[in-house]
Amino acid sequence: MTSDSSSDELDQPPAPEGPGLFGDAPEAPVPADPPAGPPAAAATPEPAATPYRVLARKYRPQSFDDLIGQDALVRTLRNAFAQNRVAHAFMLTGVRGVGKTTTARIIARAMNCVGPDGKGGPTADPCGVCPECTAILADRHPDVLELDAASNNGVDNIRELREAVRYRPARARNKVYILDEVHMLSTAAFNALLKTLEEPPPQVKFIFATTEIRKVPATILSRCQRFDLKRVPQEVLRAHFARIAGAEGVKASEAALAMIARAADGSVRDGLSLLDQAIAQVAGQGADGVEAELVRDMLGLADRSLLFDLLEATFRGDLPAVLAAMDRGHERGADPGVILADLLELTHTLTRLRAVPALRTDPSLPEAERVRGVAMASALSVPVLGRAWQVLLKGITEVAEAPDRRMAAEMVLIRLAHLAEMPTPGELVRRLTEGGAAMPQAPVPAAGPEGGSRATANGRAMALPAPGPDPAPVPVPLAQPRAFREVVALASGRAPMLHAHLLHSVHLVSFAPGRIEIRQNDAAPRDLAAQLAALLLEQTGSRWTIALSNQPGEPTLAEQRSQVAGQRLEVAKTHPLVQAVLLAFPGTEIEALRDETLDEYGLPPLPEPDGPDFAPPDAEPADIDDLPLEDS
């Protein structure tokens, strides 16, 4: 097994690292021996140009103090070194670019540092100037081996490692093995490593790094001290990039740094690569500094104000404004897929603002989210935002697979704009249960003669009387369910979990106005009866008794739906036309049947109620002979 360090760094001293992340002094270069023999001629050759180092390497953390956004990890490791309780195996996990390999190298230096005088011991603050520290920094220490598990993932490689750990370190205090992307090891390789990992020699330490912690066997994890490196918050990244831009002598606006931090998605390395690219564009265009417009063009992003305009027009159902906003984004070079992804992220932000009002005063929110975002979140409901999330999430996949990404993105937004005009299923049930409020409103009538108005019905003009004083509002009676199915419908949109349990986990034993007897499955919560009673009290204004029974009762509504669907599917298969299709296309199967006569639960609709009683229930029946006769 070989180290993955580059050959050009093995034969020459390390280059200066430049200023540290928090103003640390640069690492001193190793002095070269003076040349032997007479001095050179008067014509001195020009020194070789120093190769450029990308920001991610130039500003790589050199100590625990330099790590940003990993306070819990730093605190634990510092205490471990202070108490001499350093584990023999570490497992570092997290997304790319948060500092897993960098942390492993710092731990290796902390274990082997001997101090400037050569007499120091393990410390959480390696000096960086002793021979051990400088060799580890230059990736040329013989006892610190950094291996790529993706290319050394076989059982033979692990056997070589097991043989190597038997020998004492060549010069350092500890022999450290850093295995990057350890989840790439094969099952046989993991098994071969188990015994050595559980009882390694005293001078051998293992540090594993992985982005796929779930692919690492539990037998390996149980033998390691695990650290989960978090995504670095955007505010921390933005401040970090501002310090680096200042150290590089480059001006960068807050908006530009915020865009880079948001695009980095918690990864320091990704953000530094984007900052490096932005600085290069500034140098090429002769600009004064890194501005938001330059970063927006570089990343193919849409302007934040454009995203708000687009989302507001979509929720208004204003299709011309939606298409005009998409045209503006196209003119600025914004990718359609990125626009939908940004709208998805904005929808999530609005949902958080709606669900947790305290977030509206969060100082870390950008100005647009704090002003326009709060206003939009106050005007939209969570079901509407949830529906928009689903449409946009599916639309991103459609755009990625479409031959024309722009057309696909516009079709997704047009679909969402039409859906914005429609009520949610819960809103429909609420309107229906409140006395027919879901009926569409009549068109605004045109002015007619004598101060009245005219409207059309079936193509004929009808004169309407002049408007008088507004009549007194008629109180709408609360909904009184006639059957258990209507009780279940009351929970739709108001109590989603209760609605799901009533649909799948409850068997009706008996139903009468004011009293319901049910049997519930083990999957139903214990307080289901109390939840249902509270819902009925809120929606009907009267108390209902919910009794639990051991009687088998009816099948659940979900079971009844499956039974009805199966029966109708069998009937459909016997239809002559269907039989002809099955004969013409061998192998064809009928998977589902859509029946418009069924209700939302896939069951035949309930019978219409009888006509209203015009006499009170306790009224005496009248004899027909006693009824007065009208004069003809």
CA 211 to CA 269: how far, in whole Å?
14
Helix (H) / strand (E) containing 375: helix 374-379
CA distance 113 to 141: 12
Asked if 134 and 217 sit in the same domain, the reply is: yes
**In this structure, are 262 and 386 located in the same domain?**
no
**C-alpha span between 511 and 499 (Å, rounded):** 17
> What residue has token string 């932005």?
278
Clarify whether residues 84 and 218 are in a common domain.
yes
Give Cα 220 distance to the centre of its chain: 29
Q: Give the number of other Cβ atoms within 10 Å of residue 620's Cβ.
A: 6
Q: Does one domain contain both 562 and 548?
A: no
The DSSP bridge partners found for residue 548 are 518
What DSSP element (H or E) covers 446?
strand 446-447
Total domains in the chain come to 5
Three-class SS of residue 159?
helix
Q: What is the per-residue DSSP string for 113-146?
A: ---TTS-----SS--S-SHHHHHHHTT--TTEEE
Q: At which residue do the structure tokens 């722009």 appear?
A: 406
pLDDT reading at 223 higher than 50: yes
Of 275, 299, 323, at which residue does a domain stop? 299
Torsion of the alpha carbons at 592, 596, 600 and 606, rounded to the nearest 10: -120
In the chain, helix, strand, coil percent, each to 5?
Answer: 45, 10, 45
244 with 272, same domain: the answer is yes
Using H for helix, E for strand and C for coil, what is the string for 33-67? CCCCCCCCCCCCCCCCCCCCCCHHHHCCCCCHHHC
What pLDDT, on a 0 to 100 scale, did the predictor assign at position 125? 92
Instruction: Give 145-169 as a DSSP string.
Output: EEEETTTS-SHHHHHHHHHHTTSPP
User: Where among 278, 299, 320 does a domain terminate?
Assistant: 299
CATH number for 273: 1.10.8.60
Structural domain range at position 350:
304-422
Q: Please indicate, yes or no, whether residues 80 and 155 belong to a single structural domain of this protein.
A: yes
What's the CA gap between 582 and 589, in Å, rounded?
8
Span between the terminal Cα atoms of the chain, in Å: 115
Reported as a single tens digit per residue, the pLDDT across 101-151 is 999 999 999 999 999 988 888 999 999 899 999 999 888 999 999 988 888
Residue 149's pLDDT is what? 85
What's the pLDDT at 7?
36
Task: Answer whether residue 286 shows pLDDT above 60.
Answer: no
CATH code of 495's domain = 3.30.300.180
pLDDT digits (tens, 9 = 90+) for 350-405: 998 888 887 777 766 666 677 788 888 888 888 889 889 999 999 999 999 999 99
Least confident span in 56-60, 220-224, 427-431 = 427-431
381 closest CA partner among 418, 427, 444: 427
My answer on whether 94 and 239 are in the same domain is no
pLDDT of residue 340: 92
Give the domain-ending residue among 228, 247, 269: 228
Residue 80: which CATH number? 3.40.50.300
| pLDDT over threshold 90, residue 436 | no
